[in-house]
């Protein structure tokens, strides 16, 4: 084991896969000459050359379409969106081409492609650069949606995503690229659709994913100081969702709190809430509580950002509400 940054774990995953499979290539804005907007692709142009690490114009619809066509013809593109906010420009290619092609072609065309890049709030970037689209893409059949929370998971899940024969949405965060964590030197894979219990507990289940796992885990530490034992589950992917792990945890703790950065309407937390009340209703000792960002565009001012986003304080309060039925 050694400790590396989140961005380094992603780079290692791409490098290792590209060294063993010449059909894999990376394309996106500033991925080559500039070494990536967040330095995820640093050094890759030098190793693989401009035919496999390709700088694109500021034209997401165009280069997403090129990548879909390449995938249909036997290549395995990795497309980096500088932020998933910009994927809206390319969403027709993601939803109407990549996601549907295997079905519409009667299985004649697979689209083995990874769309990756940061999602959600990254500080004072205001409304148009701070949105969460995990639940948007998870709504579409034909896509898989992966949202890792740490360097170990990021590397194992990205390698699996690159090898997958279906299109994968792989969502990161600007606020995680510098995070450090232990990652093995030897090769490993993590299956898509397998949640991970990051912390065992007995009193309440807290479910989250992506960078908000920091909020969930920090809340569990604060709760422990008051004698409350929280089990914390990292979904790791939101399509497919590992419902079974959440159900078994709720059967043990009898209480559930879900922490998610997206807006509340039609969120992943809504879907989990429905599934648990259907499959574990008799085990619940209190209503499920969920914590989302407030239902407004994210502003620029840091004080307002803090008031809108899920945080440790709101999570602790929600846990106490399900424990004491406030």
pLDDT tens digits, one per residue of 257-302: 999 999 999 999 999 999 999 999 999 999 999 999 999 999 999 9
Would you state the pLDDT for residue 123?
Answer: 87
The catalytic residues are 60, 129
Place of tokens 């993590």: 190
Region(s) of the chain under CATH 3.40.50.920? 196-324
Residue 130, pLDDT above cutoff 70: yes
Predicted confidence (pLDDT) per residue in 2-44, tens digit: 999 999 999 999 999 999 999 999 999 999 999 999 999 999 9
The average confidence (pLDDT) of the chain is 96
* Alpha helices (runs of H) in the chain, residue ranges in sequence order: 6-20, 44-48, 60-72, 91, 101-104, 134-138, 151-163, 213-224, 243-253, 268-279, 302-308, 312-324
pTM for the whole thing?
0.96
Q: Which residues contact 254 (CB under 8 A, 6 or more apart)?
A: 283, 284, 285, 286
How much of the chain exceeds pLDDT 90, in percent?
Answer: 96
Would you state the pLDDT for residue 247?
Answer: 98
Would you state the pLDDT for residue 201?
Answer: 97
Cα four-point dihedral sign 92, 101, 164, 195: positive
Would you state the pLDDT for residue 278?
Answer: 96
The reply to whether CATH 3.40.50.970 applies to domain 2-183 is yes
Region(s) of the chain under CATH 3.40.50.970? 2-183
Going by pLDDT thresholds of 50, 70 and 90, the confidence category of residue 82 is: very high
What is the CATH T-level fold of the domain 196-324, as seen in this structure? Rossmann fold (3.40.50)
Distance CA 63, CA 66 (A): 5
Closest to 60 (Cα-Cα) out of 106, 117, 132, 135: 117
How much of the chain exceeds pLDDT 70, in percent?
Answer: 99
């Amino acid at each position: 084991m050694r400790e590396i940054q989140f961005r380094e774990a992603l780079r290692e995953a791409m490098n290792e896969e590209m060294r063993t499979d010449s059909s894999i290539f990376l394309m996106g804005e500033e991925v080559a000459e500039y070494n990536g907007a967040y330095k995820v692709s640093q050094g890759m142009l030098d190793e693989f050359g401009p035919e496999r690490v390709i700088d694109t114009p500021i034209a997401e619809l165009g280069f997403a379409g090129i990548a879909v066509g390449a995938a249909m013809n036997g290549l395995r593109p990795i497309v980096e969106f500088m932020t998933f906010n910009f994927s809206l420009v390319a969403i027709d290619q993601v939803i109407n081409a990549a996601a549907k092609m295997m079905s519409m072609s009667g299985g004649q065309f697979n689209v083995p492609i990874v769309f990756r890049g940061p999602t959600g709030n990254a500080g004072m970037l205001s409304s148009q650069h701070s949105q969460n689209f995990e639940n948007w893409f998870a709504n579409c059949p034909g896509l898989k949606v992966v949202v890792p929370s740490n360097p170990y998971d990021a590397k194992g899940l990205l390698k699996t995503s690159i090898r997958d024969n279906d299109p994968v949405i792989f969502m990161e965060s600007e606020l995680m690229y510098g995070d450090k964590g232990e990652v093995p030197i030897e090769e490993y894979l993590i299956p898509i659709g397998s949640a991970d219990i990051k912390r065992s507990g007995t009193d309440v289940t807290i479910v989250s994913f992506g960078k908000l796992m920091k909020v969930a885990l920090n809340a569990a530490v604060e709760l422990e100081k008051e004698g409350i034992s929280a089990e914390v589950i990292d979904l790791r992917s939101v399509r497919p969702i590992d419902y079974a792990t959440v159900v078994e945890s709720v059967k043990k703790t009898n209480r559930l709190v879900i922490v998610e950065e997206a807006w509340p309407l039609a969120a992943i937390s809504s879907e989990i809430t429905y599934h648990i009340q259907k499959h574990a209703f008799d085990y619940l000792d209190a209503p499920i509580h969920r914590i989302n960002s407030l239902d407004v565009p994210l502003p620029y001012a840091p004080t307002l950002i803090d008031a809108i986003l899920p945080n440790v304080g709101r999570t602790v309060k929600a846990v106490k509400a399900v424990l004491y039925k406030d």
